[in-house]
Amino acid sequence: MSLMDSGKVLPLTAVAWTSNLGCCPKDFTLISITEDGAAANFTRGFGMKSGYYLCYSKDLKGSVVVSDIQVISDKDSIPHGYSYIREFLDSKTSVSKKKRVVVRTSPVANVETAVLDIKLTAKSKMLLQHYTYVGDIHGYVLWCRKGHFSSPTPKAKPRSISLEMRSLSLEEPSAPALPFRPRNLPPIPQQSRLSNRRHSLQAGDVLNTPADNSLQAITALDGVPFSLHPDFDLQASGTALQFNSQLNNIRIKSVKDIENEYNYTFTVEESAAKRIRPSIST
């Protein structure tokens, strides 16, 4: 199975015109011969200055791929999302404008299929297997092959963390390993981490602390006695009887009692509203 049949092939990332190998960039491949053995030198015909060639690149440094390629005439408007291919020409070469090659590029992460290869033939009747006809351009036929591609996975660079950066980490340092001891010996009792203020509490309060004797159960009110202010202590101030007598004098009224006491019929307002204002005779 070939590399292309197995799907392990890089897609095209750019297509361009070039005058010769000297003008062709290093990361581009120049198409000098067609599939049927003819020279792939595009010429302008009568009065031509110099020929030019098609070239393509598969360099993924730009993170874009060629998702489609078309051939349009000078009378057609360029499709949306497409652009003319680049030109690496010398001063003696110019590309014919009668037919142009346009490509559509997409980010490599947004597409699953792309243009994998392009080829040229000098005879329009010749068919290339697994290739799609793109169009005729200046006496040649342009073909392309599309499919799934495999992009190299970027390797993460290891980062070196200095001691100063590690000291700023929010993660708690790992607990030191306990020393080795035989299994038959009883476990070593842990020392209590209670503060001096905590020792003044009763023994029953100490039993309510967590199993690990941590300080998380200690609050600011631990060990502080609770008592009411004398102004609010009814028994101490002697105002309990007076307060109870005031409560006994409170009368609880029913809905009917409230309606009878505060009932108002609005008779005066209704009679005033019904009065007819006297008319002034002219």
Mean pLDDT score, 181-199: 55
Q: What is the DSSP string of 74-108?
A: TTSPPPTT-EEPEEE--TT----SSEEEEEEEEET
Residue 72 has pLDDT above 90, yes or no: yes
Domain extents in the chain: 14-148, 228-275
**Which band of pLDDT confidence, cut at 50, 70 and 90, is reported for residue 227?**
confident
pLDDT reported for residue 107: 92
Angle at 160 between CA 156 and CA 162, to 5 degrees: 155
Q: How many angstroms separate the CA atoms of 87 and 23, rounded?
A: 10
Residue 151 has pLDDT above 50, yes or no: yes
**Which band of pLDDT confidence, cut at 50, 70 and 90, is reported for residue 188?**
low
Mean pLDDT score, 201-222: 58
CATH classification code of 14-148: 2.100.10.50
Residue 91 has pLDDT above 60, yes or no: yes
Query: Do 137 and 84 contact (CB within 8 A), yes or no?
Result: no
Angle at 69 between CA 68 and CA 71, to 5 degrees: 150
Query: Do 101 and 82 contact (CB within 8 A), yes or no?
Result: no
Residue where the block lists tokens 């062709």: 24
Residue 44 has pLDDT above 90, yes or no: no
Mean confidence (pLDDT) of the chain? 76
Closest by alpha carbon to 90, among 45, 24, 138, 156?
24
Closest by alpha carbon to 71, among 97, 89, 45, 39?
97
Closest by alpha carbon to 30, among 19, 38, 46?
19
SS3 content of the chain, % helix, strand, coil (to 5): 20, 25, 60
- Give percent of the chain above pLDDT 90: 27
Residue 117 has pLDDT above 80, yes or no: yes
Mean pLDDT score, 209-214: 53
Mean pLDDT score, 152-160: 59
- Give percent of the chain above pLDDT 70: 62
Mean pLDDT score, 199-214: 52
User: Which range scores top for mean pLDDT: 35-44, 56-65, 163-172, 233-242?
Assistant: 56-65
How many helices, marked H, and strands, marked E, lie in the chain?
Answer: 6, 10
pLDDT reported for residue 172: 60
Residue 197 has pLDDT above 60, yes or no: no
User: Which range scores top for mean pLDDT: 30-34, 218-222, 252-256?
Assistant: 30-34
Residue where the block lists tokens 């029953």: 204
Strands 86-88, 14-18: parallel, antiparallel or unpaired by DSSP? parallel
